[in-house]
Amino acid sequence: MAPAITADFPDTNFLSNNPPSKDSKQDDFLDLRNVAWAHSQEPANNFISDFYTKPTLPMLEAIVRTTLGDGDNDEDTTTNSLQDYVSGLLGHEAALLVPTGTMGNQVALRTALGSPPHSILVDYRGHIMHYEGGGPSGICGTLTRTVVPSNGHHITLSDVQKFATVRRTMYDCPTTVIALENPMEGRILPISDVRAISTWARVQDPPIHMHLDGARLWEAVTAGACTLAEIGPYFDSLQVCFTKGLGAPIGSMVIGSKTFIERAKWARKMMGGGMRASGVVAAPARVAIEQTMFGGKLKKAQEKARRATDLWVELGGKLLDPTETNMVWLDVPGSGLNEERFYSLAEQEYDLRLGGVMPYRLVFHYQITEEAVDRLCALFKRVFGERS
């Protein structure tokens, strides 16, 4: 058996149980120094999103060693084992591997909604609302009711009670699903609010389905907001991503009861998300959970976010939102800085990738290096120095 790879960097021999013999051509030998998987530090300076994390060689090794059963028919051991593992972590009975977080949310919604009339309640800033191509209307044919949290930070029970439709006259479109998100763009939804909303939803007649878009739930857990086992049971379905900060190449999971997941398979099938040799997706996802999440790498990334925040504030900078997980929301104009100068200095003199569709957001992930954070801090000092 070849030696296991544990580092992010190549053990260049791992696929070379049979090193090239004198007469085999050099081409037969896979030189791992040249494969993209060996360069997981490539996004070292990229603060635009944690979806820039690169899969690692241990993930490639997991793919090489995976089983190749049919995932669509529950015949793949690696996939089944990952589904059991993740549902277990969240205190649920079953789970379903899907290619993306968007599909995970839509599969869960489609499964929970049943026949119309139905509506879902979401935070007005929610991913389901803005970044899923209109899935709730296009795929689920549902009415979306958006909640503007009165505290400006996260949804509370009183917001839900204000916006939910529980009356059932023929004019009403009842709230069938409450879809929460935690964390939402770095903001943590406190477990006490989750509990209050869930308790209320479950005593309605009929009970309102609780769904969690937990694409980055790992970050909230890492920040100490709750444990996976604590938060899972407050929801009837959850969606978690293995990409983003965890760094797997592909994959998300829908979690729920056995009955729910049985039904969710139809929704996944309908959306074209049933996968054949799904071990290829499940194997590196498992490595992502075990090495990135439970290996303490998210925690280290969050510490870097804290360090950058502290310096920014110390220099007199303002934040659009407090730093609670791996995201830092800089109020660049509000801090009296010249925006154009800030971004051009970042790119041209400090070799930093900032900006993107959410220009004020810095996302810290585990492949951002200490050196890049040092340069970010130097940039902060420079721009505040120029301001005064």
Ligand X SMILES: *Cc1c(COP(=O)(O)O)cnc(C)c1O
Which positions touch ligand X (CB under 6 A)? 100-102, 105, 127, 181, 213, 215-216, 241, 243-244, 252
256 sits in which H/E element: strand 252-256
Q: Which residue lies nearer to ligand X by CB, 193 or 213?
A: 213
Contact criterion met (CB below 8 Å) for 84 and 117: no
Q: Which residue lies nearer to ligand X by CB, 10 or 273?
A: 273
Q: Tell me the closest approach of the beta carbon of residue 183 to ligand X, in angstroms.
A: 8
What gap in Å lies between CA 306 and CA 323, rounded to an integer? Answer: 7
Angle between helices 279-287 and 77-89 (to 10 degrees): 40
Q: Which residue lies nearer to ligand X by CB, 102 or 142?
A: 102
The DSSP output letter for 24 is S
Contact criterion met (CB below 8 Å) for 99 and 282: no
Q: Which residue lies nearer to ligand X by CB, 10 or 249?
A: 249
What gap in Å lies between CA 298 and CA 32, rounded to an integer? Answer: 26
- Could you tell me which residues are beta bridge partners of residue 210? 178
Q: Which residue lies nearer to ligand X by CB, 105 or 198?
A: 105
Q: Tell me the closest approach of the beta carbon of residue 185 to ligand X, in angstroms.
A: 8
**Which residue stretches of 121-183 are H helix?**
127-130, 135-138, 157-163
Which residue minimizes CB distance to ligand X? Answer: 101
Name the residue type at position 322: P
Number of C-beta neighbours around residue 262 at 10 A: 13
Structure token pair of residue 138: 């296009």
Strands of the sheet with 327-331, listed across from one edge:
318-321, 327-331, 361-363
Q: Which residue lies nearer to ligand X by CB, 45 or 105?
A: 105
Contact criterion met (CB below 8 Å) for 337 and 375: no
Q: Tell me the closest approach of the beta carbon of residue 123 to ligand X, in angstroms.
A: 11
Q: Which residue lies nearer to ligand X by CB, 241 or 253?
A: 241
Long-range contacts of 305-314 (CB under 8 A, 24+ apart): 305/362, 305/364, 307/373, 307/377, 308/362, 308/364, 308/373, 308/376, 308/377, 308/380, 311/377, 311/380, 311/381, 312/380
